[in-house]
Amino acid sequence: MEQAEGWYNSDAYSAIRHLRTEHTEGDVLLVQGVPEGYRGADVLG
């Protein structure tokens, strides 16, 4: 969780966050406990 919050609050993401917030609608969910290497798209196929 700390790593995800660090990314979300990073200077790099802050510089481009407006691209997401001005052009899309949605929420960001940070989920604790997802195993490393998990790929959500894999369960959709």
pLDDT on residue 6:
93
pLDDT on residue 45:
67
What digits encode the pLDDT tens for the residues 1-45? 888 889 989 999 999 999 988 998 888 787 788 888 888 888 886
- Please, what sign has the CA dihedral across residues 14, 28, 1, 35? negative
pLDDT on residue 43:
81
pLDDT on residue 36:
85
Centre a 10 Å sphere on the Cβ of residue 4 and count the other Cβ atoms it contains: 14
- Please, what sign has the CA dihedral across residues 14, 18, 19, 24? positive
